[in-house]
A and B are shown apart, each in its own frame.
Chain A
Amino acid sequence: MPPHGRRTAAPGEKADFGALKKIVVYCKRYLPAILAALVFAVGSSVATIIGPEKIADLMTAITSGLFSGIDLSAVKAICISLVILYGLSAILGYGQQFITATVTQNTARRLRRDIDQKLNRLPLRFFDRSTKGDILSRVTNDVDVISQTLSTSAANLISSVTLFFGVIWKMFRANALLAWLTVVTSLLGFAAMTVILRLSQKYFVRKQADLGIMNGQIEEVYTNHKIVRAFGAKNAEKTAFDAVNCRLYDSNWKSQFLSGMMPPIMGFVGNLSYVLIFVVGTALILRGSAAVNLGTLVSFVIYARLFSQPLSTLAQAMTSLQQASAASKRVFDLLEEEEMTAETVTASLPDNVRGEVCFDHVRFGYTPEKTIIRDFSAHLSAGQKVAIVGPTGAGKTTMVNLLMRFYEVDGGDITIDGISARSLSRAEVRGLFDMILQDTWLFDGTIRENLVYNKQGVTQAQLDQAVEAVGLKHFISTLPKGYDTVISDALNLSEGQKQQLTIARAMIKNSPLLILDEATSSVDTRTELVIQRAMDRLTEGKTSFVIAHRLSTIRNADVILVMRDGDIVEQGSHDALMAQDGFYAQLYNSQFASA
């Protein structure tokens, strides 16, 4: 298979096996164990190779004693040596299995851990452009494929190669003619198998592609069943589904049939060499050849079987190694993603941060070609409430990304209490902010764990205080396990309650600066009132940045920054901006305009 495989596959092939090399390098630390496994594998194979020779001796001992009586003690000696040999082979074989299992599982574990840690070092840019499903599938599916193929194929590959050469050597030593017979027939069978493999490969690829298409369609239809029903599109969708289904049926049975042909063909090849050995062997015996007797024949029958075995193992290993290399390419692509720039920490914060923030000619773009924020300057005094407004896509959330250093500015600087944010560590900058986003994020854990989240030494009193402030005290006390209730779908928290919890979490963290990014847009206006009260408590004495498209929530801000197409077009208080009668006034009035 290797020669064919390399020719059929397109340019990507070389890189593919390159990815496997990376896995090998990655396993370097297990080198002693891998070497031990190698030795075990070779040992076990050697025992398997010597076996038939002993069987031949046994047969000879039996047949030569047909006339005079069998030398039973000789038979016994051979048999006992065979028992030892097989026992040894089994032990060595298991030893090898054990080591490879250990090495591959530990490697899989390391891969998973490295991916997880890598994710923490990647810039936000990476997450904003990759899909969750894709990353998830690298952590689970791809690592699984690697570990499975490594544990089966790698181990089998070693013993197969040993077996292959060992058997050839033994056969040619026993009888060259019979050896040629076995090798040629096996190779013929092997060639036939390669042809079928290549044929079926085409249908396997088609099958996977069809399955993917079908998956996409049914996901869409099942998820959006309301729209499908409301617009009476069931029949149209069904026609589309039937088309894919029939294509899938076709590729399905063809791939199944072709790959199902492999075992019978291999079986026939085995039988063919078996018959040839017998016919040619007995002919040789008839002619009185000294080199061949019944024992030789019996041993050759076993050799023939041993010989075809590594060949099919090699063929299978090659296909699964191709899969593994595709998987490891995906894993290593992720592991080699460009990380966040190294930190150069040159300053540190005073103990008491006042919260004065200054944007100094900030320039930024998500891609180098497209600058979003061109030249933004603003000075915000400590304790001020700053609102950022503008139509969708004006770049409001970008401001948060820059403040939190999720993205780095391309030009200019942001200072906090006069210290450049870039001279501080990212962790320190982020520690300065409480952040509440539109999408509430609670993790799988108890309410307490979610509230305390990564902060040390939080007292029960602090918890109670925060929970009371956001108006959740009563709700939590009605839960049978109180703070230790696990947050799950079964608990059925409303969107508003989730937001109240995240506000409580921010209160407990109690940082000097605060970011509210559309914090209330997914809750209705009445719930918003409750949350608004909680947030007002939270903003007391803090410099806060509020992003909202519901303009009512920001009327009382000290400064309103009006953004349009990435630029700050107006800034000032609500009254000043309304008096100016510019873009803000237009935005604000549109909510009352009658349609």
Chain B
Amino acid sequence: MLRVLKKLNRRDLCFIAICFGLVVVQVWLDLTMPDYTQRLTASVSAGTLEMAQVLKNGGQMLLCALGSMAASVVCGFFAAQVAANLARTLRRDLFDRITDFADPEIGFFTTPSLITRTTNDVVQMQMLIAIGLQVLIKAPILAVWAISKISATSVEWTTAVLICVVLMVTVIGVLVGLVYPRFKKIQKLTDRLNDVTRENLSGVRVVRAFHAEDYQEKKFERVNEEITRTHLFTSRTMGIMMPVMSTCMSGLTLAIYWIGAYLINDAADLPARAALVGDMTAFTQYALQVVAAFIMLVAIFIVLPRTMVSAKRIQEVLDTQPSISYPEAPVRTQSAGEVEFRDVSFRYGDDGEDCLRNIRFTVRPGQTFAIIGATGTGKSTLVNLIPRFYDVTGGAVLVDGVDVRDYPKEQLEKKVSIALQKAILFQGDIASNVTYGSKEPRGDDDPRLHTALDIAHADFVSQLPEGIHAPVAQGGTNLSGGQKQRLSIARAVYKQAEIVIFDDTFSALDYRTDMLVRRSLRENLQGVTVILVAQRIGTIKNADQILVLHEGQIAGLGRHEELLKTCPIYKEIALSQLREEEL
């Protein structure tokens, strides 16, 4: 928590100091006011009151009240500034750090959690700072000052106030202690409720096919029942809080008067008695201020644990160093588009087995290189090593004769382009998606854009009324799977990189489109190295080299005809898709 607060800059600290000063002024004014009441009441009781005094004291009180309000509002202004600024800084740092994360870090935190950390957790921090700056400073000052001011007046009255405070703190402590663990449980149960409902929604066809509506309903009811029970307990328990608070406040006033009656009765003469009546009214005001200060403090302590968790979650992200870093110095390369794997091995995490072993091959510039194999044999992992989504565990990946780990970020980016199995689109329009990441924005008739769309056979774009400016919804939900995939191919082509990787990009296309796209790629990407991962033999048949991957190792490397003869695994895959005579 404190480490997160270190993000506060000098301006913020200055503001906090101002807030502190303002709070002191405010407390002083708040506590001066009852002094005037005391004088007035005493004078009334003694019968020595004059109109001039009434107006004078009234005016002074009003000035105090105005001053207190002004101090409070100005303090609120600075507190809001500090809190919002801290939130902005935290969000910026989080975003900056997270966008540098590679797969292992993202996988460790999970994306939804990173999103909540960037938004909700920061909001939590901000709320605490904004309120805390006023209350956390004010409450203790107010409580101590008020108590010190009244404790001299009467031991009996002071005891009454102390008893009341102790009683309140105990009650609140017990209630929060009882309820707090349940609050955590409610959070978990809400997740469960979400899970069950999500399960129902995603499986709606299966549930209905099995006529299992009742089965699912029972499952839902069990969670519903438990969450209701927990909610009932917490809200019934917390319901005690309000009546206890108001009874404490009224009870304290009553106690002060009751005790006062005896004190006044025992006083020696009339002036002393009159003075005591003044003291009594003033004391009541002070006492209520003390109680109010404690209630404020308690409110803070109820939200504090949650905020501390948030602070910890934020700090965790900021403390995590990205596992992949880039050198600054540019490297000099000879050829354009050569990829070499030199005895590469790779494993996820520190323990577990290698999922790639002894991978060694070279792709010459302009070649088409295909990788085929069963799911889970490491095809995607292998190509992910080229743009450094991961780093090798052993050996080296070289692009144009230089280890990819020696490239500065931008230089490697320029050389390698990729399209993934799952087409990823961003909210925006078609043009912004195809030119994604391009530094220089281009006009409507950017020839590169149209060429890229043509190569990817994204002819549907020209049929859209808005053409290349047709909107793309988040996740591309307004486009069909095939359309999305074609745009993602266009994006990979648009970049004009030396090496283009298609990581199982074609499986989502039907055979005809698959063939058409491949044909235009071959015609248009002359001299560009193409690396493609595929499941269909038809997609890769004509590649210059085919790598057959089996359980993380190379099971065969060569052309289609050679592999049919030399590689039994390749033949098996081929036969499962085609008949003997079609090979």
Contact = CB atoms under 8 A, between A and B. Distances in A.
B208 A494 contact: no
Interface string B67-93: 011001100110111011101100110
A55 B257 contact: yes
Contacts of B260: 62
Contacts of A220: 426-427, 474-475
Interface string A223-257: 11111111111101110011001101100111011
A239 to B, nearest CB: 11
A469 B228 CA distance: 44
A366 interface: no
A427 interface: yes
A204 interface: no
A30 interface: no
**In the complex, which of the residues B215, B414, B510, B578 has the most CB atoms of chain A within 10 Å of its own CB atom?**
B510
A392 B481 contact: yes
A224 B523 CA distance: 30
Given A109-B228, A132-B201, A454-B212, A227 B578 contact: no
A377 interface: no
A162 interface: no
Nearest to B53: A282
Nearest to B86: A249
B160 to A, nearest CB: 13
Contacts of B510: 391-392, 549, 587
Interface string A555-595: 10000000000000000000000000000001100111111
The main secondary structure of chain B at its interface with chain A is helix
A2 interface: no
Interface stretch (B337-345, B353-361, B397-405, B535-543): B535-543
Contacts of A528: 576
Contacts of A79: 254, 257-258
Interface in A92-140: 93-94, 97-98, 101-102, 104-106, 108-109, 112-113, 116-117, 119-120, 124, 127, 132, 135-136, 139-140
A593 B536 CA distance: 12
B40 A282 contact: yes
A286 B576 contact: no
Nearest to B101: A225
B542 A595 contact: yes
A169 to B, nearest CB: 20
B275 to A, nearest CB: 11
Interface in A44-67: 44, 48, 51, 55, 58-59, 61-63, 65-67
Interface in B185-206: 190, 193-206
Interface in B102-116: 102-103, 106, 111, 114-115
B274 interface: yes
Interface stretch (B148-156, B300-308, B368-376, B442-450): B368-376
B201 A89 contact: no
A72 B416 CA distance: 95
B199 A267 contact: no
A86 to B, nearest CB: 5
Given A72-B261, A90-B244, A237-B99, A591 B511 contact: yes
B554 interface: no
B277 A249 contact: no
A102 B236 contact: yes
Given A233-B437, A595-B518, A264 B76 contact: yes
Contacts of B215: 453-454
B240 A70 contact: no
Nearest to B523: A595
A484 interface: no
A93 B206 contact: no
Interface in B277-319: 277, 281
B3 interface: no
A527 B58 CA distance: 89
A523 B375 contact: yes
Interface string A147-166: 10001000000000000000
Contact of B437 (A236, A286, A555, A586): A236
Contacts of A51: 250
Interface in B250-282: 250-251, 253-254, 257-258, 260-262, 264-265, 270, 273-274, 277, 281
B49 A285 contact: yes
A94 B236 CA distance: 9
Contacts of B242: 93, 97
B118 A404 contact: no
Interface stretch (A172-180, A410-418, A433-441): A433-441
Interface in B413-471: 413-414, 416-418, 420, 424, 426-427, 436-437
A268 B68 contact: yes
Interface string B97-139: 0111111001000010011001100010010001000100000
Contact of B41 (A294, A443, A551): A294
Nearest to A309: B246
A492 B266 CA distance: 82
A524 B410 contact: no
A393 B483 CA distance: 11
A595 B101 contact: no
Contacts of B209: 404, 430, 433, 435
Contacts of B264: 62, 65-66, 70
Nearest to A404: B209
B515 interface: yes
Given A62-B277, A113-B221, A437 B205 contact: yes
A11 interface: no
Contacts of B33: 271
B213 interface: yes
Contacts of B17: none
Contact of B239 (A94, A139, A391, A549): A94
A387 interface: no
A205 interface: no
Contact of B232 (A102, A268, A433): A102
A42 B509 CA distance: 70
A265 B576 CA distance: 79
A590 B522 CA distance: 16
A55 B254 contact: yes
B111 A430 contact: no
A272 interface: yes
B44 A285 contact: yes
A204 to B, nearest CB: 13
B576 A529 contact: yes
B69 A267 contact: yes
Contacts of A67: 270
Interface stretch (A208-216, A327-335, A356-364, A457-465): A208-216
Contacts of B106: 222, 225
Contact of A135 (B201, B374, B376): B201
B577 to A, nearest CB: 5
Contacts of A90: 243-244, 246-247
Nearest to A265: B69
A256 B83 contact: yes
Nearest to B204: A127
B265 to A, nearest CB: 4
Given A494-B375, A592-B578, 5 more contacts: A58-B261, A104-B235, A139-B193, A224-B424, A435-B206
25 contacts: A51-B250, A65-B264, A67-B270, A72-B265, A91-B243, A104-B235, A105-B235, A227-B424, A229-B387, A252-B83, A256-B130, A257-B77, A268-B66, A272-B65, A283-B54, A286-B54, A294-B44, A392-B509, A392-B510, A404-B205, A439-B202, A444-B195, A454-B214, A590-B514, A591-B536
The 10 A-B pairs at the shortest CB distance, nearest first, are namely A231-B437, A97-B239, A595-B518, A253-B84, A271-B65, A264-B72, A233-B437, A279-B58, A454-B212, A260-B76
